[in-house]
């Protein structure tokens, strides 16, 4: 039985299955669907621009993070707010820490921001 529980936890982690987790997007409840976290990490890591990243995020309903489910539209809006704030040197920009690092998203956004600002990585 203990071995079964260990395997079940591994499968849940691999597919980030959490059926009770939901998010609201424009008044609609959005439920996450199953996705292979390894594939999503690869897809996010392979993006070369914010447009590519947004296409990957739009290919799923969103991402499961440690604090819950983040729908794609909310993630894209937050990323854009961070980008605009940094590029316009705004003091009240959202913190990059507000963005989930699920599937390497936060690190990819940092990398793309550095590239767009011409900073060496």
Compute the chain's Rg from CA coordinates.
Answer: 16
* Sequence spans of domains, the chain: 2-116
> What was the pLDDT predicted at 86?
72
Both structure tokens of 121: 């990585």
Give the CA dihedral 9, 31, 29, 82, nearest 10 degrees: 90
> What was the pLDDT predicted at 66?
86
pTM of the entire structure? 0.68
Q: Give 43-102 pLDDT, tens digit per residue.
A: 999 999 999 999 999 998 899 888 889 999 999 999 999 888 875 666 666 788 889 999
Question: Which helix H or strand E contains 95, and what residues bound it?
Answer: none
> What was the pLDDT predicted at 88?
61
Is residue 102 packed enough to be buried (19+ CB in 10 Å), middle (13-18) or exposed (0-12)?
buried
Mean pLDDT of the chain, nearest integer? 76
What are the C-alpha distances in Å from 47 to residues 27, 44, 113? 30, 6, 13
């Amino acid at each position: 039985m203990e071995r079964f529980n260990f395997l079940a936890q591994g499968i849940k982690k691999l597919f980030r299955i959490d059926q009770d987790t939901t998010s609201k997007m424009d008044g609609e409840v959005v439920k996450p669907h199953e996705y292979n976290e390894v594939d999503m990490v690869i897809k996010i890591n392979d993006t070369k621009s914010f447009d590519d990243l947004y296409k990957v995020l739009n290919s799923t309903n969103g991402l499961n993070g440690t604090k819950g489910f983040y729908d794609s539209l909310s993630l894209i809006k937050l990323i854009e707010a961070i980008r605009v704030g940094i590029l316009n040197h705004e003091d009240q920009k959202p913190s990059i820490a507000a963005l989930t690092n699920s599937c390497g998203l936060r690190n990819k956004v940092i990398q793309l921001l550095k590239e767009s600002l011409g900073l060496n990585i």
